[in-house]
């Protein structure tokens, strides 16, 4: 029996995202420029039990010529981090604009106000600077309010601040898809 589901692209990064560099703070890979429209404003009560979102991403990464450089990706709904991916293995030192790609699947496992809504996430990231593909550990993130609207944003966090540690999504290198 059909469940009458469909896939819908909710947001696409139209221009290259900002460079996340020289910081150890979680920083948006999508930026805030109005022309990008990549930060989708999730309407209140959009998510139902079992609703799925898929983030596909691609870009380039550079690393310092020394040190143990790692990066971690996370997803926020509004100001709440609903999913944090596994820290990458130590990346090859001295990389310069090496391509990567990946996907994160998010499934709504609970809905409600306050911090009652939950997202279960997992994913993968592939790139020449990683010895093996990174499989993000499956995890449930912090509770959030699914009855309120909020922007979906995608963040990167470096373990070491260096002007040579750079991660950036390519133009067209991000897509948010809903499967309802």
Q: For the chain, which residues make up each domain, given as ranges?
A: 8-179
Task: Give the model confidence (pLDDT) of 113-125 as tens digits.
Answer: 999 999 999 999 9
Would you mind telling me the total number of residues written for the chain in this entry? 180
What pLDDT was estimated at residue 140? 92
For residues 33 and 17, the answer to whether their CB atoms sit within 8 Å is: no
Closest CA to 129 of 99, 156, 155, 159: 99
* pLDDT in the model for residue 83: 95
Quick: pLDDT tens for 149-172: 999 999 999 999 999 999 999 999
- Would you say residue 1 has pLDDT above 60? no
Does the structure show a pLDDT above 70 at 22? yes
CATH of 8-179, one of 1.10.287, 3.30.2020, 2.60.120, 1.10.10: 2.60.120
- CB-based contacts of 69, cutoff 8 Å, min separation 6: 63, 90, 91, 93, 158, 159, 160, 162, 165
Residues 23, 165, 106, 38, CA torsion sign: positive
Q: Tokens 């309120």 belong to which residue?
A: 148
Are the C-beta atoms of residues 63 and 165 closer than 8 Å to each other? yes
């Amino acid at each position: 029996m059909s469940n009458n589901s469909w896939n819908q692209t909710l947001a696409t990064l139209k221009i290259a995202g900002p460079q996340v560099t020289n910081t150890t703070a979680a920083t948006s890979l999508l930026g805030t420029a109005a022309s990008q429209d990549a930060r989708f404003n999730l309407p209140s009560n959009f998510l139902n039990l079992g609703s799925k979102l898929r983030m596909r991403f691609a870009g380039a990464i550079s690393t310092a010529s020394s040190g143990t450089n790692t990066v971690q990706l996370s997803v926020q709904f509004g100001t709440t981090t609903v999913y944090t991916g596994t820290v990458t293995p130590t990346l090859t030192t001295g990389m310069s604009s090496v391509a990567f790609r990946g996907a994160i699947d998010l499934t709504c496992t609970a809905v409600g106000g306050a911090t009652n809504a939950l997202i279960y996430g997992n994913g993968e990231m592939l790139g020449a600077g990683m010895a093996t593909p990174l499989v993000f550990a499956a995890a449930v993130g912090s509770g959030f309010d699914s009855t309120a609207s909020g922007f979906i944003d995608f963040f990167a966090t470096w373990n070491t601040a260096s002007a040579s540690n750079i991660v950036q999504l390519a133009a067209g290198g991000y897509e948010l898809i809903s499967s309802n």
